[in-house]
């Protein structure tokens, strides 16, 4: 696909994300996303994270299959989940569900250090190489069971989960530092799921707010 066409499609996508943010403000409470998040969405080349045959559709505002029963999330969802984390440049972030590495790249543009866990070893290997090639040295990738998080690197300032568990895994709550934020979709596949924004209180309990109906692939355990 011609680079100019990709650039135009990317610009059009950014406008669509801004419009959808406005349309969903009654759910999320955010009529627009932060400049830093939108700059990250503008900078990261989504076409580098989709399958080669899907390059012409890289900047369509929808999820796409990346193999192994997994998807790269809809760009609007990537933007809203990133924005809801309220990241600072020094924050350490844990992502559950690396997929192709796209969400991790967006996070890396906004936060300080990103740790991402992928249950499918082949996807983890490909994401690690892709992120390295694109210069995202602040992202560490491991293959493993996302339900266990990455305890050796805890605590985290923020955690983002890009697949839907039926309930929030306790191990992830324990790895979230005091005042830390978690954004996670919860619910069964093929049923209405809810995107939650959670904050860990000083006493260790988790405050939760359901913000947006979503549809994610199920979060699975490592076999």
**pLDDT recorded at residue 138:** 97
- Tell me the pLDDT band of 1, cut-offs 50, 70 and 90: low
Q: Would 222 be classed as within a structural domain?
A: no
Domain count across the chain: 1
- 3-class DSSP assignment, residue 37: helix
- The C-alpha atoms of residue 211 and residue 196 are separated, in whole angstroms, by 6
**pLDDT recorded at residue 190:** 82
Q: Would 34 be classed as within a structural domain?
A: yes
- Please list, in sequence order, all residues whose beta carbon lies within 8 angstroms of the beta carbon of residue 115, skipping any fewer than 6 positions away: 92, 93, 94, 95, 139, 140, 142, 150, 153, 156
Q: Would 219 be classed as within a structural domain?
A: no
Over 90: is that where the pLDDT of 223 sits?
A: no
Arithmetic mean of pLDDT, 90-107: 98
CATH number at residue 103: 3.40.50.150
Q: Would 192 be classed as within a structural domain?
A: yes
Which two three-digit tokens encode residue 78? 């990537």
- Tell me the pLDDT band of 2, cut-offs 50, 70 and 90: confident
Q: What is the DSSP letter of 180?
A: E
For residue 179, what are the domain limits? 3-214
What are the pLDDT digits (tens) for 30-62? 999 999 999 999 999 999 999 999 999 999 999
What are the pLDDT digits (tens) for 134-145? 999 999 999 999
Instruction: Return the residue matching tokens 């796209």.
Output: 102
- The C-alpha atoms of residue 161 and residue 95 are separated, in whole angstroms, by 6
Which two three-digit tokens encode residue 156? 């985290």
What are the pLDDT digits (tens) for 10-35? 999 999 999 999 999 999 999 999 99
Which two three-digit tokens encode residue 72? 């790269």
**pLDDT recorded at residue 38:** 98
Q: Would 111 be classed as within a structural domain?
A: yes
Which two three-digit tokens encode residue 57? 């559709």
What are the pLDDT digits (tens) for 189-211? 888 899 999 999 999 899 999 99
Which two three-digit tokens encode residue 200? 């860990």
Residues involved in catalysis: 73
Q: Would 26 be classed as within a structural domain?
A: yes
Q: Would 23 be classed as within a structural domain?
A: yes
Q: What is the pTM of this model?
A: 0.95
Q: Would 223 be classed as within a structural domain?
A: no
């Amino acid at each position: 696909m011609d680079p100019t066409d990709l650039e135009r499609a990317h610009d059009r996508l950014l406008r669509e994300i801004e419009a959808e943010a406005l349309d969903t403000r009654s759910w999320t409470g955010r009529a627009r996303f932060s400049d830093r998040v939108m700059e990250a969405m503008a900078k990261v080349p989504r076409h580098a994270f989709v399958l080669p045959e899907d390059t012409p559709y890289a900047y369509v505002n929808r999820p796409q299959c990346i193999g192994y029963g997994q998807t790269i999330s809809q760009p609007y969802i990537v933007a809203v989940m990133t924005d809801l984390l309220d990241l600072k440049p020094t924050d350490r972030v844990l992502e559950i569900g690396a997929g192709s590495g796209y969400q991790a790249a967006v996070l890396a543009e906004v936060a300080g250090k990103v740790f991402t866990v992928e249950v499918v070893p082949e996807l983890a290997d490909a994401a690690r190489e892709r992120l390295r090639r694109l210069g995202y040295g602040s992202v560490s990738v491991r293959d493993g069971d996302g339900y266990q998080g990455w305890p050796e690197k805890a605590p985290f300032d923020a955690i983002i989960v890009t697949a839907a568990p039926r309930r929030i895994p306790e191990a992830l709550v324990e790895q979230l530092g005091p005042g830390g934020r978690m954004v996670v979709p919860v619910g069964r596949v093929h049923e209405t799921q809810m995107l939650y924004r959670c904050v860990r209180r000083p006493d260790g309990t988790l405050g939760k707010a359901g913000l947006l109906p979503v549809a994610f692939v199920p979060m699975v355990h490592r076999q």
